[in-house]
Structure 1
Amino acid sequence: MRILEIREQNVPLQSNIRNSVVDFSQMTCSVIAIITDVIREGKPVIGYGFNSIGRYAVSSTLRDRLIPRIMQADPESLLDSGGKNLDPFKIWDITMKNEKQGGNGDRAHAVGAVDMAVWDTVAKVEGVPLWKLLSDRFNNGQYDEQVFTYAAGGYYYPGKGLEALKNEMKSYLDRGYTAVKIKIGGATLDEDLKRIEAVMEVVGSGNTLAVDANGRFDLEKALAYGKALSPYHLMWYEEAGDPLDYQLYATLSEHYTGPMATGENLFSLQEARNLIRYGGMRPDRDFLQFDCGLSYGLVEYLRILDMLERHGWSRRRCIPHGGHQMCLNIAAGLQIGGNECYPDVLKPFGGFADHIPVDNGYIRLPDIPGIGFEAKNDVYAVLKQVAGQ
């Protein structure tokens, strides 16, 4: 087996939304295609990946450093012990060769994109869905046939009022979701409370509504919001402050008794471990949202899961950010807590297989080799273009 070529392309997201910090209208994404000499059904096996959702493309890092390292390596050094498939762990080590520790930012997203494409390739060569491969290799053959998912939306749009917000939430319930998430922090506290109450009129209770501040608040404002949110008994209060301000989270956890969530903007095992050590996160109620597409890929995510279990955390407390199919496979094959979904925004990368509906808050996975991109027409059209197909 040989890798013939690795291609990268900068692709824009199709969104005009904003949260409390970021305008997504200029957001881009790096898409990877690994083209191999393995033939299945008369066509070469091609593995696809991207650097998740909500961070910019990392073209320079990929083209100037990471991809050349893989392509210049001894081809045998990329293979597993049988010599018939890629070894994601060996490729991860080669990709990270001559990289300093720390500085976990855009590099983590670039490695995550490559890692995703490698795992897609491996599962396709094996001829099995990725969730099945993960179950067999890392979870004693156990897996979840369906995965909990919630609809992430409630962004700020120009001129979007409460009725439009309620209609958006109604549309998610009509499509089978039972839990939703909206943004806070991009308006005043009073305005955000009115938005929360409007959504609760639709979903019926706070325990099916999460709110996300996208790291906007300092400690004083995080505490003020926490006090105001407490009576609603929300599903969780997400990313109140800067993701690396562990003291803020530790202090907030002493005052806010409801579930908190964070982790999507932590990009390595070390950062995740510091959150667990110093961030006051509570394994009986809080949620961890590490996204492999942003944090060095599944190879690193497996290390994070091992660390969490050694610190007394259940995998079920992990519900990754990103709303993409890679994390969905991880959720099923490794039996973590669920997966986010963006039904209407951040296209084409958000969402799951076209032919599988959400049923009472749960989603099944397609039974096709790889991650399952080929079952989602809008994203597959982009991926094929990158591969020159």
Structure 2
Amino acid sequence: MKIIDVKEQAVPIKSDISNAFIDFSKMTASVVAVVTDVVRDGKRVVGYGFNSNGRYAPSGLLHERFIPRLLEAASDEVVDETGENLDPYKIWDILMTGEKPGGHGERSVAVGTIDMAVWDAVAKIEEKPLYQLLADRYRGGKADDSVFVYAAGGYYKPGKGYDALQDEMKQYMETGYSVVKMKIGGASLEEDLRRIEAVLEVVPNGQSLAVDANGRFDLDTALRYAQALEPYQLFWYEEAGDPLDFELQNELGKHYAPPMATGENLFSMQDARNLIRYGGMRPEKDYLQFDCALSYGLVEYRRILQMLEEHGWSPRNCIPHGGHQMSLNIAAGLGLGGNESYPGVFEPFGGFADNQPVENGRVSLPDVPGIGFEAKSNLYQLLKTVAQ
């Protein structure tokens, strides 16, 4: 077998929402199609991938470095020992040929996007859902029947008052979510507390609400928020400071007893390891949000999971950022603690299969070969255009 072609297209997200740092009005994403010569059910197998929201399309890196390296590789350099399927680990090594250690930046997004497409193709060639393929290879065949998901919303938006915020959160709860998340840090502490209290009026209790500062705070502000937030006993307090400020995170943990979460903007095993070594994160209560689509893909994510195990962390403490089907498959197949979800936001990339509703805060996965993009109609319509 061989890879015939790799195609990429940058597509706009176009959203008028914002968090504490950025708005998404000009945000883009890369969509990649890895075209193989394998045929299943009369159709050529194509693997699809895309990068998560929050990082722009890495089109230049893909076309200048990573796609050419993959297409220039000999067929025997990209296949597994059977010669009948792709080997994601060999492909990862090919993509990273000539890349120096460190400086992960946007290249981790480019590699993660291709990696997603490769795993989609691998599972399709084996005619298995990716979650089952992962469970068979790495977890004794046992995949979780469903995955905990929370609704990430509560963004800042022009003209969005307390009533609109409450209506948004009520809608999430009514559609099956048990935990919702809202943004903080884009307003004053006093205003954010009023917004939080408005949401707490329409959800069961503090354990039904998480808050996310998107790395906005310096240490003093992070601690002031911590003092104000602690009485609410929230589900978690997320990314208070810069993602690489491990000293800030460590100090925050000394003053804030309820759960914290961070990690979505750490894009390598080495950075994740530094968070565990120096960030004061607590394996008995805190959550890690590494997103494979932004951090060199599933190949690197498995290295992160191995590192976490060596440091006494359970995969159940991992609830990835991104709200996409790739992380949902990883969660079910490798036994993570859950996955983010973006109901109605960042479409068509956010959300899951069309016929898999959220029930009691959990969602099941379709029995579809690959990642399951074909079961999400609006996303699949977009993906198909890239392979043409």
User: Under TM normalisation by the shorter chain, which class is it?
Assistant: over 0.9
Match of 2:357 in 1: 357
- Distance in 2, Cα, partners of 1:132 & 1:14: 34
Q: Please, what is the CA RMSD of the aligned residues? A: 0.6
Report if aligned partners of 1:14, 1:347 keep a CA contact under 8 Å in 2.
Answer: no
Q: Secondary structure at the match of 1:26?
A: coil
Report if aligned partners of 1:14, 1:348 keep a CA contact under 8 Å in 2.
Answer: no
- Distance in 2, Cα, partners of 1:14 & 1:83: 42
* Letter of the structure 2 residue corresponding to residue 319 of structure 1: I
* Letter of the structure 2 residue corresponding to residue 263 of structure 1: G
Please list, as runs of the form range in 1=range in 2, the aligned pairs for 1:45-124 lying within 5 A after superposition.
Answer: 45-124=45-124
Please list, as runs of the form range in 1=range in 2, the aligned pairs for 1:212-251 lying within 5 A after superposition.
Answer: 212-251=212-251
Structure 1 unaligned regions, length at least 5: none
Match of 2:23 in 1: 23
1:31-51: CA deviation from partner (whole Å, max 9, x where unpaired): 000111111111100000011
Report if aligned partners of 1:210, 1:238 keep a CA contact under 8 Å in 2.
Answer: yes
- Distance in 2, Cα, partners of 1:368 & 1:160: 39
Runs (4 or more) in structure 1 with deviation over 2 Å come to none
Please list, as runs of the form range in 1=range in 2, the aligned pairs for 1:179-194 lying within 5 A after superposition.
Answer: 179-194=179-194
Q: Secondary structure at the match of 2:46?
A: strand
Match of 1:284 in 2: 284
Match of 1:172 in 2: 172
1:328-378: CA deviation from partner (whole Å, max 9, x where unpaired): 000000011000000021111000001110011000000010000011111
1:14 deviation in Å? 3.6
1:143 deviation in Å? 1.4
Q: How many residues get paired?
A: 388
Report if aligned partners of 2:323, 2:340 keep a CA contact under 8 Å in 1.
Answer: yes
* Letter of the structure 2 residue corresponding to residue 366 of structure 1: P
- Distance in 2, Cα, partners of 1:85 & 1:141: 19
Report whether the alignment pairs 1:142 with 2:168. Answer: no
Structure 2 unaligned regions, length at least 5: none
Q: Secondary structure at the match of 2:148?
A: strand
* Letter of the structure 1 residue corresponding to residue 316 of structure 2: R
- Distance in 2, Cα, partners of 1:203 & 1:331: 26
Match of 1:330 in 2: 330
Match of 2:40 in 1: 40
Match of 1:199 in 2: 199
* Letter of the structure 1 residue corresponding to residue 147 of structure 2: V
- Distance in 1, Cα, partners of 2:378 & 2:355: 13
Match of 2:2 in 1: 2
Q: Secondary structure at the match of 1:82?
A: coil
Report if aligned partners of 2:147, 2:331 keep a CA contact under 8 Å in 1.
Answer: yes
- Distance in 1, Cα, partners of 2:82 & 2:16: 48
Report if aligned partners of 2:14, 2:26 keep a CA contact under 8 Å in 1.
Answer: no
1:105 deviation in Å? 1.0
1:52 deviation in Å? 1.5
1:204 deviation in Å? 1.8
- Distance in 2, Cα, partners of 1:344 & 1:227: 33
Q: Secondary structure at the match of 1:312?
A: coil
The percent of aligned pairs where both chains have the same amino acid is: 65
TM normalised by structure 1 equals: 0.99
- Distance in 1, Cα, partners of 2:196 & 2:139: 39
Q: Secondary structure at the match of 2:202?
A: helix
- Distance in 2, Cα, partners of 1:202 & 1:371: 35
- Distance in 2, Cα, partners of 1:305 & 1:42: 37
- Distance in 2, Cα, partners of 1:375 & 1:141: 23
* Letter of the structure 2 residue corresponding to residue 352 of structure 1: F
